[in-house]
């Protein structure tokens, strides 16, 4: 149901319009041109905003040639492309990242300097593109950047939410959410393509006509493309991030119904269009159950699959050969309806038989699983599915029948539709040729606990691809001082070949290098502390150990363990102030889903503890608790380089991978962590001696949970924990409302599903070990340097190359 085809992207650039070489002089001319003709002002009158717009357009222009050239080559060489479908892209700011990848970071700096302006200040005016919740969305952003850097032809497909993740503030320690508004001042990065638009149907019924099933939707919404070029490092390749916006417009208004007097129905599609891409669902590890969410997922899937087929048919006439030119990767089950949608289009619109269509879909699709948490495994009721997507329900029933047949005589077969629920994980598995977990441990558990039957029926379909992070944003951009030191020491090249960091190993014991590394850490601390003071009026003592836990608030991530331990430390300092404590700043950051009450109570406890501890003159030089509000990508870029200790303390078996863990270690923070997710592999790479391990293993967690009264038993065995819980229960941190945290204390004693009590003493001992190691500064610096040197494996370039060879079957174009 394409409205107009894509003409823009295949247009090769005529020689004559190619831009002049990007010298300071030519960039200056371009900047003044944009200031005058795009922004409509003069250097004398331009505000910081005006300058940022002009700079962004100047930089964006430079992405266009590599972008067109990449499309031209992909088409000329008829290359296979990957299409990464994700409900989330947690990008952050774009300007500085683009400038770095285009090799223009220093030149534009120089140009702005000529106007008495600071590039850094201008860049920091840009709002974060926060079209995601946490790790899953940030991973998608790292992967797009790596695809462009290694030369993997492809597209990111997502939704252009008008409002990204909510903004968090604290009122009396409580989380308050306000709408985010990143588009309010215009987005200089996207190319709007109102003519590249598809109709997406919702609801209605399926009728039979000449032996064919025909879906007659009740309403149709237009999906319009907005494209952002994604340039790889060195600008040798660029891909497209295509975000769909639901478009109101004449197309949507049902004039026939209106004329027939059905006024409400006539504007139904219009109302749906207005709400579809209005706002990102703020749940991390989603707990769905909302019709609008299913509609969003279908809107993304349908528009993207239609676009993919249209592009294929623009160059080939045979859809049977789709798997030779197209791979589609589903980022968790959120876009899993793309499977049934592809089958529907092949069967209903292109005349394929069901089995042939399902076969093609399966060869094209891949599914990445990001969680085992039962509340996060998407399920939709059959009733809702029939109401929103009646034809897709029939197709899922067909796939279910196939899948049950495959299981032969198995007594209690796994069903894609179980009872009155459609299981999106089972569906995604059934329509994919590869299913991957995101760390070695997680993939093991996916095999054993989540999909044992599927695994038996399709041996080899499940593979592991451990997550990665882009070293451009998370080292070169975020930590310029350390990056420079690294380049001075081992030369450049590590940006695209992160294994070269190994070259730092031989300097780990060198006091000169240690000192230089220490200076970069200090600089990062100053930068972060200055920002904290300016932005949040929070003071951070620079000589303390910076101990950070930043991530979404979730019980399984155990911020509660961290804050309870902080209270224990506070009590000990009070008891024995002169015991030679290592000064610590405990840094927390992260948002709770607005409906997640327990997570919000934990936020309040942290803020309550901060208020008491930070105001206590006896302890404030030795212990500080800070919780800057509204953690996001840009805050992470400042905080991570400044950190000494990285808290990765989830209950074993529950964090699929973690990626923050990688960012910290790459910036020379040591990890205190459990054997969970990618922690396991990080520890193997950096060396067990350079990692503070504690806690129950996955198997021990399962065993402990089955012990009656494990919480009470563990608390009774730990005097420090008892004291902590008692003080919280008595209101030591909420004197105005002594019982404020009673429910959390009660949860600890009576349930403690996440085994905070069981791991408390082990965590406490590991924290003692941290102090001991930190006191020996040479020892600490050595460990930190070895962490950096051995993190090459965790570049997202490595992850993407694995996807290309093991799932997508795409060779690098470069």
Residues that bind ligand GPU (CB under 6 A): 133-136, 139, 284-286, 332, 370-371, 376, 438, 467, 655-659, 677
Specify the residue, 557 or 638, whose C-beta has the smaller distance to ligand GPU.
557
Least Å distance between CB 533 and ligand GPU?
31
Smallest gap, in angstroms, from Cβ of residue 134 to ligand GPU?
A: 4
Q: Which residues contact 531 (CB under 8 A, 6 or more apart)?
A: 638
Q: Clarify whether 552 is annotated catalytic.
A: yes
Rg (CA), the chain: 27
Out of 386, 552, 554, 704, the active site residue is 552
591 flagged as catalytic:
no
Residue labelled with tokens 């509204």: 630
The catalytic position among 312, 370, 433, 461 is: 370
Nearest approach, Cβ of 656 to ligand GPU (angstroms)? Answer: 4
Give 323 or 425: the residue with its C-beta nearer to ligand GPU.
Answer: 425
List % helix, strand, coil for the chain (3-state, nearest 5).
50, 15, 35
Question: 768 to each of 263, 771, 776, how far by Cα in Å?
Answer: 70, 5, 13
With CB atoms as reference, the residue minimizing the distance to ligand GPU is 135
Please identify, using beta-carbon distances, which residue of 471 and 480 lies nearer to ligand GPU: 471
Shortest distance (Å) from residue 362 CB to ligand GPU:
22
Kindly name the residue from 107, 466, 496, 659 that is annotated as catalytic: 659
Is the CB of residue 671 less than 8 Å from the CB of residue 418? no
* Nearest distance from C-beta of residue 661 to ligand GPU, angstroms: 8
Q: What does DSSP assign to residue 712?
A: H
Six-digit token pair at 574?
Answer: 């009070």
- Burial per residue of 678-695, b for 16 or more beta-carbon CB atoms within 10 angstroms, e otherwise: bbbbbbebbeeebbbbbb
By beta-carbon proximity to ligand GPU, the closer residue of 274 and 798 is: 798
DSSP string, 153-185: -EEEEEE--SB-SPEEEEETTEEEEE---TTTT
For residues 315-343, one letter each, b for 16 or more C-beta atoms within 10 angstroms of the residue's C-beta and e for the rest, the string is eeeebeebbebbbbbbbbbbbbbbbbbbb
Q: In the bound complex, what is the minimum distance in angstroms from residue 435's beta carbon to ligand GPU?
A: 14
Active-site hit among 344, 434, 551, 710: 551
Query: Nearer Cβ to ligand GPU, position 35 or 376?
Result: 376
| Active site (annotated) includes residue 557 | yes
Joined tokens for residue 47: 């505000």
Using an 8 Å Cβ cutoff, are 626 and 750 in contact?
no
**Euclidean distance between CA atoms 330 and 392, whole angstroms:** 17
Q: Which is nearer to ligand GPU, 462 or 585 (CB)?
A: 462
Minimum Å distance from CB 498 to ligand GPU?
A: 18
Q: Distance between CA atoms of 517 and 525, rounded to whole angstroms?
A: 13
* Residue 209, φ and ψ in degrees, nearest 5: -145, 115
CB of 788 to ligand GPU, least distance (A): 21
From 557, 558, 638, 704, the catalytic residue: 557
Q: Using CA atoms, how far apart are residues 399 and 454, in angstroms rounded to an integer?
A: 14
Helices (H), 5-78: 24-34, 48-76
Q: Select 22 or 288, whichever has its Cβ closest to ligand GPU.
A: 288
719-729 vs 756-775: helix crossing angle, rounded to 10: 110
Nearer to ligand GPU, 135 or 173 (CB): 135
- Would you call 368 helix, strand, or coil by DSSP? strand
- Which of 374/578 has CB closer to ligand GPU? 374
Contacts of 644 (CB under 8 A, 6+ apart): 521, 545, 546, 547, 669, 670, 774, 780, 784
- Helix and strand totals (H; E) in the chain: 33, 24
Nearest distance from C-beta of residue 329 to ligand GPU, angstroms: 13
Q: Tell me the longest C-alpha to C-alpha distance in the chain.
A: 88
Catalytic sites, residue numbers = 370, 551-552, 557, 659, 663
């Amino acid at each position: 149901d394409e409205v107009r085809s894509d003409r823009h992207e295949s247009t090769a650039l005529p020689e004559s319009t190619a831009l002049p070489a990007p010298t300071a002089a030519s960039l200056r001319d371009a900047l003044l041109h944009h200031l005058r003709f795009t922004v409509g002002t003069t250097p004398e009158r331009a505000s910081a905003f005006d300058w940022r717009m002009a700079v962004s357009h100047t930089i964006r222009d430079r992405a266009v040639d590599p972008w067109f050239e990449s499309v031209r080559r992909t088409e000329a060489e008829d290359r296979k492309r990957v299409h990464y479908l994700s409900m989330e892209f947690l990008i952050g700011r774009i300007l500085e990242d683009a400038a770095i990848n285009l090799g223009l970071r220093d030149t534009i700096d120089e140009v702005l300097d000529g106007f008495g302006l600071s590039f850094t200040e201008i860049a920091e005016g840009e709002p974060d593109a926060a079209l995601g919740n946490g790790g899953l969305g940030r991973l998608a952003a790292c992967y797009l950047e790596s695809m462009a850097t290694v030369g993997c032809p492809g597209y990111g497909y997502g939704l252009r939410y008008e409002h990204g993740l909510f903004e968090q503030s604290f009122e009396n320690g409580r989380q308050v959410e306000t709408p985010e508004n990143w588009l309010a001042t215009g987005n200089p990065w996207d190319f709007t393509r109102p003519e590249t638009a598809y109709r997406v149907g919702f609801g209605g019924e399926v009728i039979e006509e000449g032996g064919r099933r025909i879906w007659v939707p009740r309403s149709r919404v237009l999906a319009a493309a907005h494209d952002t070029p994604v340039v790889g490092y060195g600008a040798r390749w660029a891909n497209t991030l295509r975000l769909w916006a639901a478009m109101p417009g004449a197309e949507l208004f049902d004039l026939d119904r209106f004329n027939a007097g059905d006024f409400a129905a006539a504007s139904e599609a219009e109302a749906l269009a207005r709400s579809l891409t209005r706002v990102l669902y703020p749940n991390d590890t989603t707990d769905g159950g909302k019709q609008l969410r299913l509609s969003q997922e279908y809107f993304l899937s349908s528009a993207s699959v239609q676009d993919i087929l249209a592009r294929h048919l623009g160059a080939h006439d045979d859809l049977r050969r789709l798997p030779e030119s197209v791979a589609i990767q589903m980022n968790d089950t959120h876009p899993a309806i793309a499977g049934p949608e592809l089958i529907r289009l092949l069967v209903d619109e292109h005349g394929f038989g069901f089995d042939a269509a399902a076969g093609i879909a399966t060869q094209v699709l891949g599914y990445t699983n990001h969680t085992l948490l039962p509340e996060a495994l998407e399920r939709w009721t059959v009733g809702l599915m029939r109401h929103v997507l009646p034809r897709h329900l029939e197709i899922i029933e067909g796939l279910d029948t196939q899948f049950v047949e495959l299981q032969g005589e198995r007594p209690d077969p796994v069903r894609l539709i179980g009872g009155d629920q459609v299981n999106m994980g089972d569906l995604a598995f059934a329509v994919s040729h590869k299913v991957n977990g995101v760390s070695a441990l997680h993939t093991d558990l996916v095999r054993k606990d989540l999909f044992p039957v599927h695994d038996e029926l399709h041996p080899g379909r499940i593979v592991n691809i451990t997550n990665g992070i882009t070293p451009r944003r998370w080292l070169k951009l975020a930590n310029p001082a350390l990056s420079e030191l690294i380049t001075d020491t081992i030369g450049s090249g590590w940006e695209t070949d992160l294994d070269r960091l190994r070259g730092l190993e031989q300097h780990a014991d060198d006091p000169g290098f240690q000192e230089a590394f220490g200076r970069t850490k200090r600089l990062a601390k100053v930068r972060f502390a200055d920002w904290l003071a300016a932005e949040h009026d929070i003071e951070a003592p620079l000589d303390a150990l910076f101990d950070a836990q930043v991530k979404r608030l979730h019980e399984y991530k155990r911020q509660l363990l961290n804050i309870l331990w902080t209270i224990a430390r506070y009590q000990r300092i009070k008891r024995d102030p002169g015991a030679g404590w290592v000064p610590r700043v405990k840094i927390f950051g992260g948002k709770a889903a607005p409906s997640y009450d327990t997570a919000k109570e934990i936020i309040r406890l942290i803020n309550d503890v901060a208020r008491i501890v930070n105001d206590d003159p006896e302890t404030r030089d030795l212990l500080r608790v800070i919780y800057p509000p509204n953690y996001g990508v840009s805050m992470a870029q400042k905080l991570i380089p400044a950190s000494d200790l990285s808290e990765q303390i989830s209950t074993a078996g529950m964090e699929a991978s973690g990626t923050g863990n990688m960012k910290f270690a790459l910036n020379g923070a040591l990890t205190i962590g459990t054997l969970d997710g990618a922690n396991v592999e990080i520890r193997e790479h950096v060396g067990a001696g350079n990692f503070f391990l504690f806690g129950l293993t996955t198997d021990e967690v399962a065993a402990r949970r089955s012990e009656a009264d494990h919480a009470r038993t563990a608390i009774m065995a730990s005097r420090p924990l008892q004291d902590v819980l008692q003080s919280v229960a008595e209101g030591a941190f909420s004197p105005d409302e002594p019982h404020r945290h009673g429910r959390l204390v009660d949860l600890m004693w009576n349930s403690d599903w996440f085994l905070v009590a069981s791991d408390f003493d082990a965590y406490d001992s590991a924290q003692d070990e941290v102090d001991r190691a930190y006191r020996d500064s040479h020892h600490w610096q050595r460990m930190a340097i070895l962490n950096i040197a051995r993190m090459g494996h965790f570049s997202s370039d490595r992850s993407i190359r694995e996807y290309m060879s093991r799932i997508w079957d795409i060779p690098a174009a470069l």
